[in-house]
Amino acid sequence: MKVLVAFALVATRALATTSSSGQECLCTSDQSCWPNASEFSQLQTQVSQPLVYPSPTASACYPASDPSGDCTEVIERWTDGTWRSSMPGSMEALNFETFMFENGTIDACYPNTTITGTCGQGIVPVIGVDARLVADIQAGVSFAVEHNLKLIVKNTGHDYLGRSAARGSFVVWTHHMKNITFNPTFVPQGAPADQTYDAVTLGAGVQWGEADAAVSENIRMIVGGAIASIGAAGGWLAGGGHSALSPTYGLGVDNAIEISVVLSTGEHLTVNNYQNPDLFWALRGGGGSTYGVVTSVTYRIYPSVPAQLYQFQANVTNSSAMLQLVGELLHSQTQFTDDGWGGSGSMDNQTLSLSYMAPDMTSETAKATTQAWTNYALSLEPYGVTSTAALISVPSWYDFFQEEFADVGLTGANEMLTSRLLSRDTVATEYSAVAEVLIACGASFNTVAGGKVNQIDPDSAGLNPAWRNAVVEIICGVRWQDGASSTEIEGMIRRLKGLIKTMHDLTPHDGACFNEASLFEINWQETLFGSHYLTLKDIKNKYDPHKLFVVAEGVGSDDWNKELTCRF
């Protein structure tokens, strides 16, 4: 059991509907309780599309002795997030397609067919509904409740907790719900008629590349994600919805006006601050695949404005100078984000790269607000730091998005992450100690807090309150090669756990971002949801009476076994 839990691929075990201890358990495909062909045929008559039978991403390359022509596409597009997200069985990280048995053997489907010679289903769901309509979701949810199935909700598969897959599960796939509707005088249902917003409503399957392009065509901009293939109305929002625009306009949860959702009862609700406000509160930051299946989100949009881009690169030959450089960068983040700069960066023990953007800022202000940092980096040149900095005016956020993020390939690896939301207090007092950890782990970071994010009431949404005091999100992770043994993988996980403990001990009150969290977060309820956890759990119990929606480290998952198949 230790290996299975440590590998933590959200793997479900084949358990009876009622366990030997009397627990109520969900049904998986290798059990006698699984629906028969006739029952699935009946479901087929209730949905608009043929049922889907998801396969692992590399399945087209098998059998290895006679692979189909599609195997060439698999190899060529393996890291293409948009391509991967278009398939019901493909996940962002290969390890979340993979299942490890208790004896350490691994059921997987690797693109290199010589590793095992076979393509295993792993934890990829085995059958499901290709939802194009709300009625499709309702039919799938009702079927799962009727047959007590292990249900998975999937849009793109971009997820570092493996919530888009489970062994032997039934999936509701929302990827093709692509409606985009603009309304310059949108009034939330139940709101006073004079409460209007310039808004866009995005279907559950819309991705940020699609949303940003459509909004840009209307000479508007939207607080959105950094990668084109990420879903715009799913887990991104449910985890908070951070953006390079957040220091100026707030998080995604601060810009969501209305959400439509299908509950486990089959009811389709439209929720906002006037209708079911408690559920609206929970859906904004309280975790995805937890309260229901979101069918659409309406967001506030803003007039398009020009922006300033600040790009910085440093090469460092002295470890002491590197520590000083990164420490001072952390120390400077409060000023950067309060001035409206958002973006991302990365480092290792020899390089530091930044790409920051500030909307609606003049070139003069851009120079004034970056000069102190630029000068500091230049002052370290005698100590082995060679740096360059550039300020560039860009016509809009969308131009920045296309240049920096639209074609980023970050998928297909075996990868686990952990994140930390560094507070104002931490970057003011612990910046040197934190810098040492970040350099060692080769961290990336997102300047997606501070500024406007800190000005909003921490209790205005179900979001982890730690966001309201954070100025930067830092991320560390581990990776391993395809075909790595269970022993090698456990070694990587021990390293990740060590990083988590070190950062937790350094920043015990800072919390983490749910969307870049680890399956091994210390006291995950507090780390991911803070003081909102018990309220969120009450709301979940109210709106999910069938206990259908359960995911790793999601609200209410502490009532289930580690495999998330049996309730205590």
504 and 370 in a common domain: yes
The pLDDT, as a whole number, for residue 68 is: 57
463 and 424 in a common domain: yes
Tell me: pLDDT of 201 over 80: yes
CA-wise closest residue to 123 among 153, 166, 161, 164: 166
pLDDT per residue as tens digits for the range 496-507? 999 999 999 999
Domain assignment of residue 223, yes or no: yes
70 vs 167, higher pLDDT: 167
The pLDDT, as a whole number, for residue 19 is: 55
Angle CA 423–362–400, to nearest 5: 70
User: Which tokens is 418 given?
Assistant: 């952990």
CA-wise closest residue to 486 among 87, 105, 99, 96: 105
| Residue 297 CB contacts under 8 Å (≥ 6 apart), including other chains | 201, 202, 232, 233, 237, 256, 258, 259, 260
pLDDT per residue as tens digits for the range 93-114? 999 999 999 999 999 999 999 9
The pLDDT, as a whole number, for residue 404 is: 75
425 and 470 in a common domain: yes
The pLDDT, as a whole number, for residue 407 is: 56
Domain assignment of residue 535, yes or no: no
Tell me: pLDDT of 408 over 80: no
Tell me: pLDDT of 1 over 60: no
The pLDDT, as a whole number, for residue 70 is: 84
pTM of the model: 0.95
Q: Write down the H helix ranges in 148-298.
A: 208-217, 235-238, 246-249, 252-255, 277-283
425 and 333 in a common domain: yes
311 and 277 in a common domain: no
The pLDDT, as a whole number, for residue 402 is: 83
Count of structural domains within the chain: 3
What is the percentage of the chain residues whose pLDDT exceeds 90? Answer: 91
What is the percentage of the chain residues whose pLDDT exceeds 70? Answer: 94
The whole-number average pLDDT for the span 304-318 is 97
User: Helix 319-338 crosses helix 431-441 at what angle (to 10 degrees)?
Assistant: 110
Pick from 21-35, 75-89, 425-439: least confident: 21-35
Q: What is the domain-level CATH number for residue 80?
A: 3.30.43.10
The pLDDT, as a whole number, for residue 65 is: 65
| Residue 426 CB contacts under 8 Å (≥ 6 apart), including other chains | 434, 506, 507, 510
Domain assignment of residue 51, yes or no: yes
Last residue of a domain, one of 249, 284, 304: 304
408 vs 147, higher pLDDT: 147
Question: pLDDT category, 3, cuts 50, 70, 90?
Answer: very low
Per the prediction, the chain carries an average pLDDT of 94
| Residue 237 CB contacts under 8 Å (≥ 6 apart), including other chains | 252, 253, 256, 283, 284, 294, 297
Last residue of a domain, one of 304, 322, 348: 304
Pick from 4-8, 70-74, 444-448, 531-535: least confident: 4-8
The pLDDT, as a whole number, for residue 401 is: 83
Question: pLDDT category, 17, cuts 50, 70, 90?
Answer: low
Query: What is the Cα–Cα distance from 440 to 331, expressed in whole angstroms?
Result: 18
Domain assignment of residue 540, yes or no: no
485 and 468 in a common domain: yes
The whole-number average pLDDT for the span 544-567 is 96
Query: What is the Cα–Cα distance from 337 to 459, expressed in whole angstroms?
Result: 21
Q: What is the domain-level CATH number for residue 499?
A: 3.40.462.20
The pLDDT, as a whole number, for residue 22 is: 56
List of long-range contacts for 194-199, beta carbons under 8 Å, 24+ apart: 197/257, 197/298, 197/300, 198/300, 198/301, 198/302, 199/257, 199/298, 199/299, 199/300, 199/301
The pLDDT, as a whole number, for residue 12 is: 32
Query: What is the Cα–Cα distance from 245 to 104, expressed in whole angstroms?
Result: 44
209 and 185 in a common domain: yes
* Residue range(s) defining the domain that contains residue 235: 180-304
User: Which tokens is 254 given?
Assistant: 């601060």
239 and 332 in a common domain: no
Pick from 13-27, 221-235, 257-271, 325-339: least confident: 13-27
82 and 134 in a common domain: yes
Q: What is the domain-level CATH number for residue 294?
A: 3.30.465.10
Query: What is the Cα–Cα distance from 363 to 369, expressed in whole angstroms?
Result: 10
Domain assignment of residue 69, yes or no: yes
Tell me: pLDDT of 417 over 50: yes
Last residue of a domain, one of 304, 326, 344: 304
Domain assignment of residue 454, yes or no: yes
SS3 of residue 484 by DSSP:
coil
The burial class, CB within 10 Å (0-12 / 13-18 / 19+), for 389 is middle
Q: Write down the H helix ranges in 149-295.
A: 208-217, 235-238, 246-249, 252-255, 277-283
145 and 41 in a common domain: yes
290 and 157 in a common domain: no
Domain assignment of residue 377, yes or no: yes
Domain assignment of residue 1, yes or no: no
388 and 489 in a common domain: yes
Tell me: pLDDT of 50 over 90: yes
Backbone angles phi, psi at 491, to 5 degrees: -65, -40
